[in-house]
Amino acid sequence: MNRAQKIAVFNLVVFSSVSLITAVAVTILYYIWGWPEAARGMGFVGLGGLAGLSPLIFKKDPGTVTFDERDKLIHRTSILAGFAMSYLWFCLTGTVFAFLFEPLLFKRLGLPIMIFGGAFVVGIVSSVVLLILYGRSDKNE
């Protein structure tokens, strides 16, 4: 497993666990106090910043070539897929909040869900696509 794959797996673990913790916190706060206070559970999204530590955790191997043209193409494809899915995320969440909820709730809860959710979608989708593309290229397909 190369460095990029290790970083992708680490990011998947971080983003998945932070998404789960945030969803549980918002759900619990909603059932205890209602919607306005449930938005405070979105504070757990800040733990997603741990994904930024992945390049520091997984250091480059000194002296060896770790990145070639194939790796560049795989990284480009995974990032493009991540941003394409985040565009879909923005469209879907914007539509859902516009038609189903009141404007004040969109302002308090919808915008953080759209922005931070979009960042999480980019991280998760690009990591998954990167792992899939490396898995396919390792099998010579």
Query: What pLDDT, in 10s, does the model give residues 97-108?
Result: 888 888 777 777
Structure tokens at 71: 């790796």
Q: What pTM did the predictor assign?
A: 0.81
At residue 61, does pLDDT exceed 80?
A: no
The residues near 98 (Cβ < 8 Å, ≥ 6 apart) are: 106
Q: How large a percentage of the chain has pLDDT more than 90?
A: 30
In this predicted model, which residue has the larger pLDDT, 37 or 31? 31
Q: Given this model, what pLDDT does residue 43 score?
A: 81
Could you give phi then psi for residue 95, rounded to 5 degrees? Answer: -65, -45
In terms of average pLDDT, the best of 26-40, 45-59, 90-104 is: 90-104
Q: 140 in the Ramachandran plot: left (φ > 0), alpha (ψ -120 to 50) or beta?
A: left
At residue 45, does pLDDT exceed 90?
A: no
Total number of domains in the chain: 1
> How far apart are the C-alpha atoms of 113 and 108, rounded to whole Å?
9
Give whole-number Cα distances, 88 to 5, 61, 91, 100, 109, in Å. 25, 37, 5, 18, 19
- HSE-up of residue 50 (Cα within 13 Å, Cβ side): 14
At residue 25, does pLDDT exceed 80?
A: yes
At residue 109, does pLDDT exceed 60?
A: yes
Q: Given this model, what pLDDT does residue 130 score?
A: 93
* H helical segments located in the chain: 3-33, 35-38, 54-57, 69-100, 103-105, 111-138
Q: Which domain holds residue 110?
A: 3-138
Q: Given this model, what pLDDT does residue 70 score?
A: 84
